[in-house]
Structure 1
């Protein structure tokens, strides 16, 4: 099979090469891949930094493939062959206290497709059967765009217990996670303010703030009525700081993007005296993924599909990724 194999930690070390088709083991399925997304985590693997440093090279990239089950391993219902699926990237251990409580997103021993094991930027990928989730009628590109991004947002919204009528600031609202966050918060009945560095088209009745940097955002949201919740998907620590500063008494902040600026500085006294809370969300539960796919299938989410690349151009897709606009960058494998 053809696969995007990373042999050293730079883009020149990424080639589309012929490799053996993997065989599903016990509890696993073999998926013939149609699409896979381009993600910040892929860039971390390519650079050998952050969570990507855990990848042992050579490694096939791709955390969120979608396709069709073509074979199953022992212990898997053979009737799953032919099922259209998308792969949940984070694989929970299944035995720790978090997993036993149904909170697989916080499993401390979870592994990730395309990082700890070969991923889906290939014609075929093997994954645990539980992680190959029914696409619910979505086409492959839509499912790839939703499976990780929208699911993390659903986890974040649940983590801060967002309720109808609360005022929420969504920072980084122009990206894939941001568009999903706006739609999901609106569906929850929240009063949404969407902040982005670039102009946005409204998805509903949200207020839009265009702020080119964190200082401009801070000026735009300071001195007002404040926010019950800040949901940051910008991956930018100064932007998160501006949001935290704008929280009301007892406000909750949650961020779910690998920060490109990790030096987060907050007013500790204000944070303490005003009873603020901060949480990080890096993955999703299995039921979060199921909910995200159901919302997309019901038309409750905007299209999250952005630029598309042929498989032979996968290295170009990774190279272009930081400069792309709205939507998930999709690689068409088949």
Structure 2
């Protein structure tokens, strides 16, 4: 099979090569890949930094492939043959206390497809059967764009306990995670304000959502204080920016909850601790999703409640160019067409 193999750190260490087809182990399925997404974590693997240091080279990249099941390992129902699936990249251990509670997102021993094991930037990938989630009639590209981002923000909104009528601020609303968070919060009946560095056109937002554009955290604080002095019940931060997260927490109303679900590039976070304490605020981190949340997220996509934006597409042979241009890509999920 053809596969995008990283043999040494740096994009120049990535090449499409011929590798033996994988064989599904007991409890696994073999997926013939149609589509795989490009992710920030892939870039961490390529650079050998942060969570990417867990990858042992050579490694086939690709967190979130979508395709069709073409073989099953021992113990897997043969009825899954021919099933259209998308792969949840985080593999829970199945044996810890979090997994026993059905909170696989909090599993401390989870591994990741494309990091700890070979991924789906290849014609075939073998994954645990539980991680190959049925996608029904959802197109492969849409499923790949949804399977990681939409469940994470659904987890954030469910963890925060967002209910109809609450005021929700989404920071970093212009990106993939932000657009999904905005759509799902609006679908749940919340009053949503979408904040980003640049203007989001009304036509790009769900009905009733208000947008705020601010070039930095200081400007965001000022705008929120002036335009929304009552504060917010919930802040969902997907900006990956420490000062922006701090501005969101500052904008919380009494008893407000802030959830951040993006790797913060600026590791420092400044909070008014007296305000945080006296006003009973809460801050929660979410970095993955439960298996049930993945299924619910795909149901939302199938129902049209959230539509992941597809951005630039590249053939597998040009995957290196996709990673080189990732930072400057237009909005939407960058997709690799494997077939």
Same fold (TM over 0.5): yes
The answer for the alignment partner of 1:145 in structure 2 is 145
The answer for the alignment partner of 1:97 in structure 2 is 97
**From 203, 208, 229, the counterpart of 1:205:** 208
Superposed CA deviations along residues 252-291 of structure 1, whole A, max 9, x for unmatched, are 0001111121211211121111111101100000111101
Q: Is the 8 A contact 1:152 1:282 kept in 2?
A: yes
Q: How does 1:34-45 map to 2 (within 5 A)?
A: 34-45=34-45
Answer with 295-304 or 129-138: which moved more: 295-304
Is residue 220 of structure 1 aligned with residue 211 of structure 2?
Answer: no
Once residues 300 and 261 of structure 1 are traced to their aligned partners in structure 2, the CA distance between those partners, rounded to angstroms, is: 32
Is residue 154 of structure 1 aligned with residue 154 of structure 2?
Answer: yes
The answer for the alignment partner of 2:291 in structure 1 is 286
Once residues 188 and 326 of structure 1 are traced to their aligned partners in structure 2, the CA distance between those partners, rounded to angstroms, is: 24
| CA positional deviation for 1:202 | 2.2
Once residues 326 and 71 of structure 1 are traced to their aligned partners in structure 2, the CA distance between those partners, rounded to angstroms, is: 35
The answer for the alignment partner of 1:328 in structure 2 is 333
**From 249, 253, 258, the counterpart of 1:253:** 258
Once residues 301 and 248 of structure 2 are traced to their aligned partners in structure 1, the CA distance between those partners, rounded to angstroms, is: 28
The answer for the alignment partner of 1:168 in structure 2 is 168
Once residues 262 and 60 of structure 1 are traced to their aligned partners in structure 2, the CA distance between those partners, rounded to angstroms, is: 29
Question: What is the root-mean-square deviation of aligned Cα atoms in Å?
Answer: 0.9
Once residues 289 and 214 of structure 1 are traced to their aligned partners in structure 2, the CA distance between those partners, rounded to angstroms, is: 32
Superposed CA deviations along residues 292-330 of structure 1, whole A, max 9, x for unmatched, are 111111111124222111111111111111122321111
Q: Count how many residue pairs are aligned between Structure 1 and Structure 2.
A: 334
Answer with 249-258 or 213-222: which moved more: 213-222
The answer for the alignment partner of 1:110 in structure 2 is 110
Is residue 136 of structure 1 aligned with residue 139 of structure 2?
Answer: no
Answer with 144-153 or 198-207: which moved more: 198-207
Superposed CA deviations along residues 127-155 of structure 1, whole A, max 9, x for unmatched, are 00010010121010000001000000110
The answer for the alignment partner of 1:180 in structure 2 is 180
Answer with 211-220 or 55-64: which moved more: 211-220
Superposed CA deviations along residues 2-23 of structure 1, whole A, max 9, x for unmatched, are 1111111211111111111110
The answer for the alignment partner of 2:74 in structure 1 is 74
The secondary structure found in structure 2 opposite 1:222 is helix
| CA positional deviation for 1:58 | 0.8
Once residues 135 and 86 of structure 1 are traced to their aligned partners in structure 2, the CA distance between those partners, rounded to angstroms, is: 6
Q: Is the 8 A contact 1:175 1:325 kept in 2?
A: no
The secondary structure found in structure 1 opposite 2:283 is strand
Once residues 76 and 69 of structure 1 are traced to their aligned partners in structure 2, the CA distance between those partners, rounded to angstroms, is: 11
Once residues 16 and 215 of structure 1 are traced to their aligned partners in structure 2, the CA distance between those partners, rounded to angstroms, is: 45
Once residues 165 and 212 of structure 2 are traced to their aligned partners in structure 1, the CA distance between those partners, rounded to angstroms, is: 19
| CA positional deviation for 1:225 | 1.0
Q: Is the 8 A contact 1:180 1:304 kept in 2?
A: no
The secondary structure found in structure 1 opposite 2:146 is helix
Is residue 119 of structure 1 aligned with residue 119 of structure 2?
Answer: yes
Once residues 6 and 204 of structure 1 are traced to their aligned partners in structure 2, the CA distance between those partners, rounded to angstroms, is: 43
**Deviation beyond 6 Å, 4+ runs, structure 1:** none
| CA positional deviation for 1:55 | 0.7
